Structure 1
């Protein structure tokens, strides 16, 4: 039986495909390549197509013996979501609806959903736990929460089983050096810092240094992308064992400040990496860190690659070898 990975040519999706293949799984990938890269898909059977295309989805399920789906495919830029809410509702929510309907037509009832800790909005406490209230502060988080709720209702109506994984910042690159992080445009802190180290940017912006944190800059969760891949596979295994649906946070439990990330990157790269302090961005909380206690206890998840040095070392190796990303 095969695992279908939607958005499998994207950053986290491609690393999960690689991890599945390493475990000997049969893998099917569906991606429209709007954000993903064909070269990032290291194996399996690839289909170029959109979730909202019923004909493509039915063909994927008809031509493969799929027993579980890992769903990554979604638009994910917070700023863009606030400017183009329609795009996010159509691609994320309607796209997920089309996927669930196609799964239901063929009787595939297991789905692992790549959600986000942005579903929580401004946290009431840190670290964030799965029982905390969900009140997103942006359209991206709102659509992800809507997708979670929709999957839950498919469980009620059609006996689906799901695992929803909520996390913040994936970072780093595969240990093989073959795949890494390449977004267009790039919005993630670690690759922006490393692009600055390569001279592709004049500086890295630090938005605010007067937050109530140890060094005044925002603190965020950073998880190695391969640790996230492991969690998705553990979630598939949970569903295959027939266990109940569940929601898990994936976090490092402590968080790293923007200034910490920059300083460690300077040490690892040996580059100056100019940083410019700018005004706070509206809506940026001081600290966003998720507790992963539940995932560790129930999934057996062990994020052993997620110290900041290892994350940046792997990312730096990728960016040095592929300074133009997959365009090289």
Structure 2
């Protein structure tokens, strides 16, 4: 019996391996638009797809980032300046993309741009702090997608949204986890709606990787700024020791981050070039072995695990 089960499992993984290795034809004729290409995943993916022969349209926030990327890639790659928090910038970039892809349409849209600060306990933050992250990670992603959807549909192409394991499991306060939960919900509804038109939507849910988004110095500085704004009463409730513990946890984050960004960009590339991409990709062993399994555990168990492993306010019960 066990031999039969093992044989069926082996056959399943063999068929899945074969199924997922089927590659889309004529990649050199396909256009892919990527946001957030100044650094991190977006920058690496742009260079990776350029080497693969695709026509990359890379959106950068700064001219300096765009120049550096062009210096590292072929003449096929083109850049545009894009601030996804501004409607006029998105409209201009969408028109720029339309002029380049023409009747071919846009094969791939990769919504990669994102930020993670301000991050701190929710009570320490203001509405403006939450909106700063939501404007980039969620509302900007929505507007970019909607502005380019007709071009993607014309090519019967792909939308790849960069979410996070924190879109499955909220471990800290601030707008980051909220925004990633929103990306998950938007991607699910979009996938079902666009399936009628032959468009595929994939989500990338990385664990902790060493990028600008997980920069401990930025997170620690934002936490300190949030603390400095608090009233004396709230500071007394939490205590300086709690603040120090939070900062220490942030510093430990760097050693826990994976440095191999290719684990993420390879998933993005597969989502764009495979005939049969996955719906969700979870790069990183921490995502596969810890955070994704935790997202399926009973809430009481997860809350207890987090409760005993997190810093506590000085006035906690």
Q: TM-score, normalised by structure 2?
A: 0.56
- 1:188 is the counterpart of 2:198: no
Is 1:50 aligned to 2:83, yes or no?
A: yes
Task: List alignment gaps of at least 5 residues for structure 2.
Answer: 1-29, 220-243, 289-305, 311-317
In the alignment, is residue 155 of structure 1 matched against residue 185 of structure 2?
Answer: no
Q: Name whichever structure is richer in strand by fraction.
A: 1
- Which has the larger helix fraction? 2
Alignment of 1:63-212 (within 5 A): 63-64=100-101, 65=104, 66-77=106-117, 79=119, 82-83=125-126, 84-106=129-151, 107=153, 109-121=157-169, 137-159=173-195, 160-171=199-210, 183=212, 188-189=215-216, 207=245
Query: Relative to 1, partners in 2 of residues 1:209 and 1:189: Cα closer, same or farther, differing over 3 Å?
Result: closer
In the other structure, the counterpart of 2:279 is 246
Q: CA deviation at 1:16?
A: 1.1
For residues 124-178 of structure 1, the C-alpha deviation after alignment (integer angstroms, 9 at most, x for no partner) is xxxxxxxxxxxx754211112202211221222233421111113223xxxxxxx
* CA shift in 2, pair 1:122/1:32, >3 Å: closer
In 1, Cα distance between equivalents of 2:119 and 2:60: 23
Against the structure 1 CA distance between its residues 55 and 208, is the aligned structure 2 distance closer, same or farther, given a 3 Å change threshold?
Answer: closer
Distance 1:223 1:151, change over 3 A: same
TM-score (norm 1): 0.55
Provide the residue aligned with 1:19 in structure 2: 48
Alpha-carbon RMSD: 3.8
Distance in 2 between the 1:254 and 1:149 partners?
A: 19
Partners of 1:166 and 1:30 in 2: CA distance: 21
1:61 counterpart residue number: 98
Aligned counterparts of 1:85 and 1:36: Cα–Cα separation in 2: 26
CA contact (8 A) 1:169 1:223 kept: no
Which residue matches 1:3? Answer: 32
Distance 1:121 1:2, change over 3 A: same
Q: 1:148 to 1:209 in 2, by over 3 A?
A: closer
| CA apart distance, 1:23 | 1.8
What's the counterpart of residue 226 of structure 1? 262
Query: Aligned pair in 2 of structure 1 residues 226, 286: CA closer, same or farther (>3 Å)?
Result: farther
The runs of at least 4 consecutive aligned structure 1 residues that moved more than 6 Å come to 208-211
How many corresponding residue pairs?
216
8 Å contact kept, 2:38–2:66: yes
Cα distance in structure 2, aligned partners of 1:35 and 1:20: 21
For 1:122 and 1:155, the matched residues in 2 are separated by 23
